[in-house]
Amino acid sequence: MKQGIYDHFHPDEKPFVDRAMEWIERSAQQHELKRTDFLDPRQAQVLTMLSNRNPDVTIRMDGGYEGAERQRAIIGPDYRILDDEPIGISVLAVNGPGQAQLELDHGDFLGALLGLGIKRDRIGDIHVHEHFCHIVIMDEIADYLNVHLRQVHRISVLTDIIPIADLETVIPKLEEMSLSVASMRLDGIASDVYRISRSKIVDPIRAGRCRVNWKAEEDPSKPLSAGDVVSFKGLGRFKVQEVDGVTKKGRIRVRIGKFI
C-alpha cells in the first residue's frame, strides 16, 4: 500500500510523506487536530494530495495573508469546521535604530533567526522593507524571538509582535530576462539565466541542489513550462514567466523572471 504511494514522489520526499500520512491517519482514526509547521508549496501540495485520498479528514492552509508562499496546515477529522480554528501565526516586526535604512536582505534576516537555533520550518514568509522587516512566524516562538533577536548581520535591531492584520507584505521583485533557447531543457535555460556553462550547471542538478516547483530535480534534461519556479542552492531562483513562440531559426523565445 505505502510503496504504491511512494511511487508518486521523489525519494527525498519519503520522510515528509511518512509524517504527512501519520498526521492524516491520526486525524481520521483518533479524531486529533494537527497544526503543522510551515510548509513550502511542494509540501503543501503533497499534504493536499495525500489528504484527498482519505475522505475522513479535512485540511485548511494559511500563511497569514492571501498568496503566502509558506503556509501552516490544520488537519482535522472531516466533521470539524476548521475555518474558526486559530492557525497559530504571529508577525515579528524588526526595526533598526531610528529610521536608518537597514540595507539588509532576506538572507540576513533568515540567517539571524537560524542563528538563534530556530528551525526553518517554524518561519513563514519574510517581507523586507526599506526601514523594517515583517516576519511571519509560529505563535510558539514569538515570545522567544521578541526577547532574543537583537542583531541582524551586525546591525542592532528592535522587535515587536504585531497583529496579523498589520502585516505589510512585499511583492517579490523580478529581473526580467528574454532568452532565445534551442529547447526548454532545465540545464540549457538555467545556464543562460545564471550565465554559467551548461557543463557546470549539470553538476549541481545531479547533486540534488536544484528544485523545480519546490521538488528536487536531478534530471538536467527535464523540460520546463510557463509558470515553473526553479531554484538552485547558492544561485537563487527564477520563474519561467512565458514561452513566447519560435523564431525563424527555430529557437524558442522565453521570458524569465529572476528573483532579486
Residues 182 and 253 in one domain: yes
DSSP state of 121: G
Residues 190 and 149 in one domain: no
What would the mean pLDDT of 213-228 be, rounded to a whole number? 94
Q: What is the CATH number of the domain that holds 112?
A: 3.30.70.330
Contacts of 134 (CB under 8 A, 6+ apart): 91, 92, 93, 94, 126, 127, 162, 167, 168, 169
- Contact status, residue 210 vs residue 216, Cβ threshold 8 Å: yes
Instruction: Single out the residue of 197, 199, 188, 200 nearest to residue 230, CA to CA.
Output: 188
- What distance in Å separates the CA atoms of residue 68 and residue 76, rounded to the nearest whole number? 22
**Which domain-ending residue is among 166, 187, 202?**
166
Question: Residue 13 is part of which domain span?
Answer: 2-77
Q: Is residue 195 part of a domain?
A: yes
User: What is the tens place of the pLDDT at every residue in 132-169?
Assistant: 999 999 999 999 999 999 999 889 999 999 999 999 99
Q: Is residue 82 part of a domain?
A: no
- What distance in Å separates the CA atoms of residue 58 and residue 81, rounded to the nearest whole number? 9
User: What is the tens place of the pLDDT at every residue in 59-98?
Assistant: 999 999 999 999 999 999 999 999 989 999 999 999 987 6
Q: Is residue 113 part of a domain?
A: yes
**Which domain-ending residue is among 43, 77, 111?**
77
Q: What is the CATH number of the domain that holds 51?
A: 3.30.1370.160
Contacts of 191 (CB under 8 A, 6+ apart): 197, 198, 200, 201
**Confidence (pLDDT) at 78:** 94
Rounded to the nearest 10 degrees, the angle between the axes of helix 186-194 and helix 198-206 is: 120
What would the mean pLDDT of 202-221 be, rounded to a whole number? 94
**Confidence (pLDDT) at 97:** 76
Instruction: Single out the residue of 90, 78, 89 nearest to residue 24, CA to CA.
Output: 78
Q: What is the CATH number of the domain that holds 186?
A: 3.10.290.10
Residues 179 and 249 in one domain: yes
The per-residue pLDDT of the chain, averaged, comes to 93
Q: Is residue 248 part of a domain?
A: yes
- Contact status, residue 236 vs residue 149, Cβ threshold 8 Å: no
Residues 182 and 131 in one domain: no
**Which domain-ending residue is among 116, 150, 166?**
166
Residues 65 and 140 in one domain: no
**Confidence (pLDDT) at 100:** 61
Q: Is residue 83 part of a domain?
A: no
The total number of structural domains that make up the chain: 3
**Confidence (pLDDT) at 170:** 93
Q: Is residue 182 part of a domain?
A: yes
